[in-house]
Structure 1
Amino acid sequence: MADIISCPSGLTGRIRGMRVREERVLADRKLAKSGGQVDELLSACWEDLLEAGPYAFADGRVDWGQVLQGDRFYALLQVRVLTYGPEYAFAVPCQNAACRARIDWELDLTQLPVRALSDTSRAAFMAGNRFETTLPDSGTRVRFKLLTGEDERRLPQLQRAAPEKLLSSVLAYRVQDVDGVDARDKRRFLEDLSLRDADFLVDEFDAVDCGVDTTLEVECPECLMRQEVELPFDRGFFLPGTQRTTRRRERSTSSPV
């Protein structure tokens, strides 16, 4: 089954659901380590480019390394919907330390809010992917970029190298230059930012970006606490059969003899 989709930036094409041969992509540990699974999966399921949107693909074929993170996730979501349908069931632990019950939740993936790339952001992206803002506390102007597939591959490596500096690693990667700050001192400048400036900068990233809102509100069936969680995006997202097997095993072991 194939369908035509239009991504948040305007990138439009025909996609299909996954076939059995795509399971090797999901099981490839080398691809998982290099961050290449998403590119391989999208390349396999994208059948025809109808509109390039803001991208300048050299040979008329989609280069997923150039594609914005928001477009990539949206396309993956549609591949999953075409493969298994829009319903997605998952489980998360309750965030209430006094409870920690298991929350089983189900949602319709087609109902997740989607934010389109604005005309202003599209123009800035096409003009070199440079965005500008002024930090409220320091009054300093900084320029930053939107993340693409190439960035998606590199960021986890940087985060693994310095997990204790997760926020500063992300900021240093996305911020291209800072007024009055030498390139060699950029990381130090960002680590000395007030948390207000850091939060503002992350909000600015989100304000000009596009994509799917994956923050969900769920309710614990035990303590009734409502809490925000991120949509689980792991191997089970594309191979729900493994989740069913796990749930059956858990029910089996918990059943009275």
Structure 2
Amino acid sequence: MADVITCPSGLTGRVRGMKVREERVLADRKLAKSGGQVDELLAACWEETIDAGPYALGEGGKLELGKVLQGDRFFALLMVRALTYGPEYAFGVSCRNDSCRARIEWEIDLTKLPVRKLSEESRAAFVAENRFETTLPDAGKRVAFKLLTGEDERKLPAVQRSSPDKLLSAVLAYRVLEIDGVEPKTKRQFLEDLTMRDADFLVDEFDRVDCGVDTTIEIECPECFSTQEVDLPFDRGFFLPGPDRTARRKARSSSSPT
């Protein structure tokens, strides 16, 4: 089954659901470690580019997935999953209430998640040189930064592994292109010395000019009725059949003659 989708940036194309042969992509540990699974899945399921949006197509009119914004890639993956198994996605989490800790089973419609579109201003800046600027409120410094693409997705895990005790400053340093009055070699140290107010402001600026899907979901515990916000679970299990299908398979298997 295939469908036409329009990503947050305006990129429009025809995508299909996963086929059996894509199972090898999900099972490939090398691809998982290198961050290449998303590229492989999208390359397999992206059938046609109808409108390239802010992107320049490669040789033969091919969409270069490494140059596609992270928000577009994630949106496309959600739609591939919806086309594969249907829009409903069920997951479970534990209640955060220490006096409860019940298991919460929740289901959402992936096609109903709020989408943040890329503004015309952001599109122009991205197409020009992928450079955005803002001023830190406490430090008073002008900062230039970039939006993340597929190529960055592949590099970020290594960046994070290299500084497990300084994840925030490592990610900030990767996205920040330059800081007024700060030498490139001292950029990381400057970012580590930022006030948390400046760091939060900078992350908010990243989100303000970017596009993507809001994956923060409010759920309610059926036992204590407390509400909590959780992020949509996104791991290998996201691309596997839902619990209802798994239960039906188990039931069929147990009722089969031996």
Shorter-chain-normalised TM-score: which range?
Answer: over 0.9
Instruction: Give the match's secondary structure for 1:217.
Output: strand
1:228 corresponding residue in structure 2: 229
Task: Name the amino acid aligned to 2:197.
Answer: R
User: Secondary structure of the residue that 2:3 maps to in structure 1?
Assistant: strand
Shift of 1:37: 0.2
TM-fit CA distance, 1:245 = 4.5
What secondary structure does 2:64 align onto?
coil
What secondary structure, in the 3-state scheme, does the structure 2 residue paired with 1:177 have?
strand
In structure 1, how many angstroms separate the alpha carbons of the residues matched to 2:249 and 2:40?
Answer: 31
Which piece of structure 1 moves more, 221-230 or 38-47? Answer: 221-230
Q: Which residue of 1 aligns with 2:206?
A: 205
8 Å CA contact retained: 2:3, 2:15: yes
**Which sections of structure 2, spanning at least 5 residues, go unmatched?**
251-258
Question: Which aligned pairs between 1:218-257 and structure 2 lie closer than 5 A?
Answer: 218-240=219-241, 245=246
Asked if the contact 1:236/1:243 (under 8 Å) is kept, the reply is no
- Secondary structure, aligned partner of 2:65: coil
Map of 2:37 onto structure 1: 37
Q: Percent identity?
A: 74
Match of 2:256 in 1: none
Pairwise CA distance, 1:238: 0.6
> Are 1:82 and 2:83 counterparts?
yes
My pick for the range that moved more, 204-213 or 214-223, is: 214-223
**Equivalent position of 1:6 in the other structure:** 6
Report the counterpart of residue 184 of structure 1 in structure 2: 185
Cα distance in 2 for residues equivalent to 1:18 and 1:248: 19
Preserved contact between residue 65 and residue 150 of structure 2 (Cα < 8 Å): yes
State the AA in 2 paired with 1:46.
W
**Structure 1 counterpart of 2:164:** 163
Detail structure 1 runs of 4+ shifted over 2 Å in the superposition.
240-249
Please, which moves more after superposition, 237-246 or 187-196? Answer: 237-246
Check the 8 A contact 2:16/2:46 in 1, yes or no: yes
Q: 1:122 to 1:221 in 2, by over 3 A?
A: same
SS at match of 1:127: helix
Residue 246 of structure 1, CA deviation: 8.4
Q: Which runs of 5+ in 1 are unaligned?
A: 250-257
Q: Deviations over 1:38-65 (max 9, x none)?
A: 0000000011111111111221111111
Offset at 1:200?
0.2
Hey, what does 1:133 align to over in structure 2? 134
Q: Distance in 1 between matches of 2:157 and 2:243?
A: 25
* Structure 1 residues 163 and 244, CA gap change in structure 2 (3 angstroms): farther
The CA deviation string for residues 106-157 of structure 1, in whole angstroms up to 9 with x for no partner, is 0111110001100000000001000000000111100000000011111111
Match in the other structure for 1:25:
25
For 1:134 and 1:248, the matched residues in 2 are separated by 56
1:30–1:246 Cα change, 3 Å: farther
CA contact (8 A) 2:6 2:13 kept: yes
- Deviation, structure 1 residue 99: 2.0
Say if 2:51 is the partner of 1:55.
no
Root-mean-square deviation (Å): 1.6
Aligned partner letter, 2:177:
Q
CA distance, structure 1, for counterparts of residue 222 and residue 165 of structure 2: 34
- 1:102-141 to structure 2, matched below 5 A, reads 102-141=103-142
Alignment match, 1:70: 71
